[in-house]
Amino acid sequence: MAELLSYGFMRNALMAGVLVSFACGVIGTLVVLKRMVFIAGGVAHTAYGGVGLAFYFGVNPILGAVAFSLAASFLMGYVQRQTRQRQDTLIGVMWAIGMAIGIIFADMTPGYKADLMSYLFGSILAVTRTDLWLMLGINVLVISLVALFYKELQATAFDESFARVRNLPVDLLYLVLVAMIGLAVVMLMRVVGLIMIIALLTVPAAIGALFLKHMHHIMWLATGLSLVFTTGGLLLSFFFNLTSGATIILISGVAYLGALLVHRYCRRCPE
C-alpha cells in the first residue's frame, strides 16, 4: 500500500476518487430523487461532442466537454420542461447526435487518437494536478449551491406544483440543477468515462434512497458509498490489471443488486 502511494499518478487517482465522491453523493441524490437519470445520461454522452470538437481544434478537451455538457444540460432541461410529449425521444436523439459529432470530429483529426478513448472509458490513472484543482473547484461550487438551496431543492424534487404555488423560483432552481449535473458529468468523465457516468452518479444515491428518509443522510451515504466504489475499484483494477472505470462500475452494480435484495427481503428495514 505504501508502495502504491509512492506513485504520483496513484495519489492523484485516489484523490480524484475522493473528490468525485462528493459530487456523486450530492448531485446523484438530486438526480435520483428528481428522476433525471435519463437526462444525466444524455448530458454525459453529448459531452463527447465537445471532446471531439476540442480535439479537432487543438483545445483542451475538458473545455470542450464543459461547454457541450452545459449546453446539453440546458437544452435537455428545456425540452424536459417545455414539450409535453416525446421528451425521451428528443433527449435520446440529442444524446446520439452529441456522440456522432464527437466521432466525426475525431475522424477528421489527423494523428494518434488513443486519448479520445480515455474520455469514453475513463482514465483515473491519468488524472493531472490541474484536473484535481478543477474537480475541487466544481465540488466547492456544487456543494455551496446545494447547501444554499437545500430546502427548496428538496421541495421542488418532491412536489413541484406545491413549490410553485409557494412562489419558489422553481424554473431557476431547475436550471441550477441541470447546470450542476453538467459540471458533475465533466468531473466523472475522467474517472469512469462518459459511457458509464450514469451508473456512478445514480447507484450510490439509489442505494441510499432505498433505506433512508432524510435527503442529507442519503447524500452522505451516497458520498461514502462512491468513495468505497471508486477506491475499491481502483485498487482491484491496479492489482488485477483491469480497466479502472469498468471495475468501479461493476463493484457499484453488484452493490446495487445486493442492496435491492436486502431491501426486498427484510420487511422492516429501519428507516
Q: Which is nearer to other proteins, 148 or 262 (CB)?
A: 148
Q: What SS3 state is found at 158?
A: helix
Instruction: Decide: is 171 part of the binding site for other proteins (CB under 8 A).
Output: no
Is the CB of residue 185 less than 8 Å from the CB of residue 138?
Answer: no
Residue 261 makes contact with other proteins by CB under 8 A: no
Closest contact distance (angstroms) between CB of 160 and other proteins is 9
In angstroms, the CA 182 to CA 180 distance is: 5
Question: Is residue 231 within 8 Å of residue 19, measured between CB atoms?
Answer: no
Q: Which stretch binds other proteins (CB under 8 A): 17-25, 38-46, 131-139, 148-156?
A: 148-156
When asked if residue 154 is in the footprint of other proteins (CB under 8 A), the reply is yes
Exposure class string for 113-132: b at 16+ Cβ within 10 A, else e? eeebebbbebbbbebeeebb
**Residue placing its CB nearer to other proteins in the complex, 6 or 85:** 85
Report, in Å, the least distance between residue 82 CB and other proteins: 13
Among 2, 6, 58, 167, binds other proteins (CB under 8 A): 167
- Shortest CB 129 distance to other proteins, Å: 35
Cα-based distances in Å from 29 to 55, 60, 106, 177, 208: 32, 30, 34, 11, 8
- Residue 163 in the binding site for other proteins (CB under 8 A): yes
Compute the radius of gyration of the chain from its Cα atoms. 18
What number of helices (H) and strands (E) belong to the chain?
13, 0
Q: Give SS3 for 106.
A: helix
Q: Which residues between 43 and 102 bind other proteins (CB under 8 A)?
A: 84
Instruction: Candidates 96, 148, 260, 262: give the one binding other proteins (CB under 8 A).
Output: 148
Q: Is residue 43 a contact partner of residue 76, using CB atoms and an 8 Å limit?
A: yes
Q: Total residues at the site for other proteins (CB under 8 A)?
A: 28
Binding footprint of other proteins on the chain (CB under 8 A): 33, 35, 84, 148-149, 151-152, 154-155, 157-159, 161-169, 209, 212-215, 218, 271
